[in-house]
Structures are given as structure tokens and as C-alpha cells.
Structure 1
């Protein structure tokens, strides 16, 4: 006896859209007459919405194809449609020859049967901040390229500035390069720009700056220096825009605005960190949760978390396991016949995952902390690469619990930041001197009452 199995229709009045660069194919059913092609201009997007509304459609599914979906998504959302933005890997298994019409019908069929899940999308506020932060990252990458090219031209000029200074784009290096671009090629004069923190002496710096003075290399150095200055100005503009936007959002929220407690600014600020009060802004943005207390998290990492997911985005994940799985940091177990065939983390990445992996790598260089001890235990068993992924996942779980449950970071082993270590070292040296010279409180006119 033959049995026929049918799937129930979950979304009765739904449509599927195959998004393209020059046209969109919209399917409201499985017949060829139910598929219609539209353009990509603003009027065409409005025509799509009018056609869907005229056919009683209330739910739409489409692929996240490049950046072509964004304008269509915004127009559909404005007209009140329930939108499913699906990952392309869940819609690519259509049988037979691939065409745009068949893709649109296949997406509509999967959505009607309830087999598509929506991708994570941040709220509009976070999306705006994300644009500013990603633009800042682009300028940082261009500035790094200009810095590398400046070092290349200095080497071709036989001016080994990279040997005598730690950072060519530091205080000493930039002043020397600027003077060279102005036409000063005297090594002794250039060496006078030495900062007092520089370990090398003026004599050694002058010795390293005796070059061949080729005009073509000097021209290239000047061009790259001007580009570097331009990029730094653009980065500063982005910092100002991010600062204004964050303060505006905090002022709009009366609960966050009333927070009086200040975050502890213990961590050393990297030169590429945004020139804003990110410690306090992040503390208020997350409603009194100080992510900076987690060892290994830098200002750039916290800014990435704020701009990529936001404070409300964490609530879209029911558990920390859902959050780590979305970031592709959780093991992907493949089991057959009761045997685990593979447990590798799935392929794919996003900016938060990259930021947390960089933070995990920095944690691996720390000493005697809760997370660094965990890192070394995993690294001893399975290697550093696995330890980076495992520590990044642990960081994701900690951050999710802190933000969603409003819990402070309380590791079993306390981590001392640089300023705390200096304070403890100073106190220790003072106590040693007091014991050495047998100094008593009355000798220093200290009141003991």
C-alpha cells in the first residue's frame, strides 16, 4: 500500500524573492504566472510592495545576497511585511537547472513550509553606529598600508629608522619623517627630534639616518606621509562622529543617563584606539556593566561589540549557546551510528568573532589569570589554535551573561591591570624602605590617633 506524506503549509500568504544586482524575481506561488520580474530602482521597489499587497501577501522571504537586499528589505519593512532574511546556504539545494524563476519559486516554497529561519539583524541605531565604526576600520587599514610603504621608502633611502625607534609612526619617527619631507637631510639635525623616552641615543639615531638621498625615493616617502596624515585626519573625524552618536543615544535613555558610578580606566590605551571616553561610554551603554574588566578585551574589541550587535542584540539569543553558535565558535558535532565523526567548529566568520579571537590570543600572553590559565591548559592538550577558539568561545559566554543578566565579571583569580600593578609595586618598595631604615609614624609626623 502506497502512502503519501505531505508537509503542512505554515505561511499561507507568503512570497519568495530572488534578489539580484539588476532585477528582482518575486514569486507568490508555484505557477509560472505567479512569478514576476521587477527592476532595482526606487519606483520598482515600491511596485513590488504594491503588487504583494494587492495579492494579500503578508510575509516575504529572500536571500542575503551581497548588499543588494538592503534597499529592498528597508522598503518591505516600511510597508509592514514580515520579512525572513535567509542565509543562501539554506536555499541553494533546488533540483535541476538553476534559473532566477526557479530560485524565486523554491524560496517561496521553503518559506511556505516554514523551513527557513531568519538571519540576525541589529536594530537601526546599532546599524548606524556600525557604519561609522566600519568606516573607521577602513581608514585604519589604509593608514597601516601607508605606514608600511613609508618604512619601505626609508629602507630604500638607507635610513634605518625602524632599527633605532620602536615605532616609525611614533612621536620620534613622525617628527623625523616630517622634517625629511620638508627637505632636511642632515642626520645630526634630524636626530634632535628624539623623544626622551627613546632608548637609543642621538648619536646612534644620527648614524642610522645617513642615507643615499635619492630624489625618487624622497618623492615617494613624501607622498605616503601626506596620505598617512590624511588618513589620520579621517580617523579623528570618525572618532568625533562615534563619540557624538554614543553620547546622544545615552542621553536619549534616561536610565543609562542617570548612572553615576564610573568605570575603572585601568587598561593601557592603544594608539589606534578611538580618542573618546570609551570606558565610561561603554559602561553607560550596557547599563552599568563594565566589559573592560575582562582581561584581554581592548577598547577596539568593546567598540566592535557595541557597533556589531548592540546592547539589545544580545536578547535575540535565548542562551549563551545560541550566541556562540551564531558566531561559529561552538563545536559542530557530526554523529552517525552513535559515533562522533567530527566536532570541528564550522567555517565562516564575522567581525565579533575576529575581535574575540584577537582578544583570546592576547590572553594567551598574560600570566596568572583565570582565562590565561584556561588558555594554557587547552594549548598544552590541543595546540594554540584550538586554545584561541576555545578561549574566544568562553569570552562570548562571559559577555552574554554579563550583558543579558546584568552580572559583573567575577573571575576566581583576580587580574591586576597595569596601574594596579604599579601601585602595588610602589607600596611594596615603600614598605621595604620603611623596614630598612626603621622609620616610625612619629618620624614622619603621622598622627596615629
Structure 2
């Protein structure tokens, strides 16, 4: 079967770690077709040569598979000379069995591109691609921090300290001060003096929880863990500052996303660098949800639905949305009522995915329209007035703005 030609000058790139295979299909003015194949290395000079070769051919379209992270540097080299390549999903371009070679893959990519049978993947602008590195490394650091905090808790428990039983957060201000005092070997009454009066636990309960058999080895490990925890926290703070500085030009989008239940400033920034602000790149909320891997799968044959399992999408966006969904399910909003309606029938995990899906569709509409979030079931202004009205009336009465009630 002959494929209809939509693009007359196309280039397909098969990208690997150490080699890039290129295949160009060029239709001349007289209707003849010319096939040109080249191989390039993966170093900077090779990528520059690839970009110059592609630029000289004046292609209508350049396509490459999203092979790991290897596509990023050739993409940047082509972008530098004004060529915006298409990065396509490898699942959409499977070659014919028995013809699996680098040259064959590049030729097959060019053939599909020439016929207009490929769909481009979302690639954010260069600025957001750079900030993605910061946001994703921050997520790794948060994971390391949680691991170290859990390890500190285990070492304290191994030494007989049950402070985690009587305080809600072992790494709160009071609990951390008491742990540091224990590490320093201070007597129990001095450790108790580090506790804030706002703790619900009594002094007797704190005293009982601090009775321990800490050895020199325990104190050494706890000292190193505490130092590492504080170092990671300082590093995360630096990552946060760098990320927010890079998004200084997107203050309106950041402010809009923070009106969504469960989303804070850092969460909004990390989501923004993943999906960008231009929703035209996705086209619809359905495609955005499919790209993130947060919507139900679609697998039907012979009129029977085989599976609704969600596909693999962007794991960083999926993780952020699930965190937002957990927080939103505890707020006074339409998301809480939806979660409560689903959790009894579908279970906790499926309900969280459903809330994450709804949140992402809401984000799409907010960014597309440039509007803040307005809850369909809750009037937040009325809630604020109801919560603060007695205090406001008392203050206005005190300073003489309204008369004292008789």
C-alpha cells in the first residue's frame, strides 16, 4: 500500500547514546524522490554537524524517538539553528518485525513523518526544560529527607526513646530541640526544658518517653543523621529559591494555581515546570490527562471492556497530583465531597487517582482561561466572613468604629 505524501522534505533520526543515524527523504521539484542517509557521533561537534546538515536540507519536518534522555542534546542542537523537531512516542512507531536496524528505524520514522502519521510529544520551552532539572532533583531530595527522618526515628526507638508516641511530629521545633539535647548528653530535666508549652503531652509523659539506654554508638549515629537531615533541608531551601527565581515571570499562573485546594507555592511551581502554561500544546484536558497517565485506560475488543488500567505517563506529574489530591480530600471543597462519595465504592487509591484526574482537568481550564479557581459547592468568601466576623466586630467596637451594643 502506498502512503499518501503530506510532507515533501522530512528527516528521521534514530538517537542512541554514542551514535545518531539520520535518514532524509527529499522530494525534488520534478517529482523524483532522493534518499540521503548519514551517521553522526554524539559529541557536541557531531551534534553541531547534524544540525548544519539538517538545516542545509530545509526540511518540513524532523522527527526522533523519545529515547531515554539521549534525545535532549540533539533536540537542543537542532533548536539552536531554528529547527523544532518532533519527539514522538516509541510505542507509536514500531517497525516491521525482521527489519530492526538503526538505518531501518531512521527510514521508518522518515516514512511515517512523510505520510503525516505521527503525533508529537509535548516538549516544554528551553527555560522550563532547565527548571525541570531543578524540580525533579528537589523531589529526589525530599525522598532522601523522608528516608533519613525515618531512620532517625528507628535509631531513637532502638535506644528506648518513645518520643514519637507523645508528640505528633518528631521533627517539629520542640521535638527536634529535645532530640538534639539528648544527642548532646544533657540531663533529662534540661531536655524537658526544651519542650514548648504548646505541646499537648504533659511533662510527666515527656519524662517517661525520654527514659532510654542510649549508648555512644546511638549518639554517634543520631548526630550524623541529624546533621544530614539539616543539610538536606538547607539544600531543599536553596532549590526552592532557585526554582521560584526562575519562575519570576509566571507570577499570575503561580497565584492562580495556589487558589486550588491542596496546592501550595512550591507545588504550583513544580507542576508548572512540568506542564507549562500554554495549554494549546495539549489541545484538550483529555490529552493532558492521558499524557500524565492519570486517566482510566481504554482497552475494548468485541464490545467488551478488557481493562481500565491507567497507562504509564509522566511520573513526576502523577506524584504531584496524588499529593494534591490527598490534601484536597481534607479541605472544604467539591473535591472532598467527591472523594467521600468514591472511597466507599472504589477504595482509597482509586479515589485518589480520580481526584487527581479532576484536579488536572481543573488546572487545564484555569491555565487556558487565565482564571482563579472558583469552587462550585463552597463560597470561600462567606466562610472567611463567618470565621472572622466576631473578631472583626470586637475590634471595630474596641476602637470606636461601631457603637457598643446595648
| TM-score bin (small chain) | 0.7 to 0.9
Among candidates 270, 273, 278, match of residue 307 of structure 1: 273
The answer (yes or no) to whether the contact 1:61–1:107 under 8 Å persists in 2 is yes
Residue 399 in structure 1 maps to residue 363 in structure 2: yes
Structure 2 counterpart of 1:246: 247
The answer (yes or no) to whether the contact 1:192–1:202 under 8 Å persists in 2 is no
Structure 2 counterpart of 1:125: 127
The structure-2 alpha-carbon separation of the partners of 1:50 and 1:233, relative to structure 1 and needing over 3 Å to count, comes to same
Question: Secondary structure at 2:7's aligned position in 1?
Answer: coil
Among candidates 154, 175, 178, match of residue 176 of structure 1: 178
The structure-2 alpha-carbon separation of the partners of 1:445 and 1:21, relative to structure 1 and needing over 3 Å to count, comes to closer
Question: Secondary structure at 1:62's aligned position in 2?
Answer: strand
Give the Cα separation in 1 of the matches to 2:372 and 2:58.
Answer: 49
Among candidates 135, 138, 156, match of residue 158 of structure 2: 156
* Unaligned 5+ runs, structure 1: 251-280, 434-439
How far the C-alpha of 1:84 sits from its partner, in A, is: 0.9
How far the C-alpha of 1:344 sits from its partner, in A, is: 4.1
Structure 2 counterpart of 1:233: 234
Structure 1 counterpart of 2:213: 212
Structure 2 counterpart of 1:294: 260
The answer (yes or no) to whether the contact 1:191–1:203 under 8 Å persists in 2 is no
The structure-2 alpha-carbon separation of the partners of 1:243 and 1:426, relative to structure 1 and needing over 3 Å to count, comes to closer
Structure 1 counterpart of 2:11: 15
The answer (yes or no) to whether the contact 1:126–1:309 under 8 Å persists in 2 is no
Give the Cα separation in 2 of the matches to 1:29 and 1:317.
Answer: 28
The answer (yes or no) to whether the contact 1:24–1:39 under 8 Å persists in 2 is yes
Give the Cα separation in 2 of the matches to 1:207 and 1:157.
Answer: 14
The answer (yes or no) to whether the contact 1:187–1:207 under 8 Å persists in 2 is no
The answer (yes or no) to whether the contact 1:94–1:103 under 8 Å persists in 2 is no
Give the Cα separation in 2 of the matches to 1:225 and 1:44.
Answer: 47
- Normalising by structure 2, report the TM-score: 0.85
Give the Cα separation in 1 of the matches to 2:118 and 2:402.
Answer: 77
The answer (yes or no) to whether the contact 2:136–2:316 under 8 Å persists in 1 is no
The structure-2 alpha-carbon separation of the partners of 1:342 and 1:230, relative to structure 1 and needing over 3 Å to count, comes to closer
Structure 1 counterpart of 2:310: 345
Q: Say which is worse superposed, 54-63 or 85-94, in terms of deviation.
A: 54-63
How far the C-alpha of 1:117 sits from its partner, in A, is: 1.3
The answer (yes or no) to whether the contact 2:253–2:370 under 8 Å persists in 1 is no
Structure 2 counterpart of 1:319: 284
Give the Cα separation in 2 of the matches to 1:379 and 1:310.
Answer: 31
How many residues are paired up?
395
- Normalising by structure 1, report the TM-score: 0.78
The answer (yes or no) to whether the contact 1:363–1:375 under 8 Å persists in 2 is no
Structure 2 counterpart of 1:332: 297
1:44-123 equivalent positions in 2, closer than 5 A: 44-96=46-98, 98-123=100-125
